[in-house]
Amino acid sequence: EAGVAQSPRYKIIEKRQSVAFWCNPISGHATLYWYQQILGQGPKLLIQFQNNGVVDDSQLPKDRFSAERLKGVDSTLKIQPAKLEDSAVYLCASSLVRTETQYFGPGTRLLVL
């Protein structure tokens, strides 16, 4: 069974530029999550989707971050414009349903200069 796929794996941009990350969850998983992991910390949930609907985006900085999961399968997370403090690993995870174990992708390492 294929795991969670993410791209790109690495991205370097300058502050005020835009960037987008892509995630394809495990086939059949209804719930998709985006996390931000700053160096030395645990992952912090940014947004959670159930199919194509948002369940929780309370910690998403909505002035610069946006995410969508239009067809209820893959998802994109966008940052516009990026700030230095956005440098982190962005992890995507999926689960069969909300109560089940989350499986994580390899992450995208973002460096904002």
Partner 1 sequence: AQKVTQAQTEISVVEKEDVTLDCVYETRDTTYYLFWYKQPPSGELVFLIRRNSFDEQNEISGRYSWNFQKSTSSFNFTITASQVVDSAVYFCALSERNTGNQFYFGTGTSLTVIP
Residues forming contacts to partner 1 in the complex (CB under 8 A) are: 33, 40-45, 48, 55-56, 89, 91, 93, 98-99, 101-107, 109
95 strand-pairing partners = 31
Give min distance, CB of 81 to partner 1, in A: 25
Give min distance, CB of 98 to partner 1, in A: 5
Q: How far, in Å, CA of 97 to CA of 38, rounded?
A: 26
Q: For partner 1, which is the closer residue by CB, 27 or 58?
A: 58
Q: For partner 1, which is the closer residue by CB, 55 or 80?
A: 55
3-state secondary structure of 92: strand
Q: For partner 1, which is the closer residue by CB, 52 or 59?
A: 59
Give min distance, CB of 101 to partner 1, in A: 5
71-109 burial code (b ≥16 CB/10 A, e <16): eebebebebeebeeebbbbbbbbbbeeeeeebbebebbb
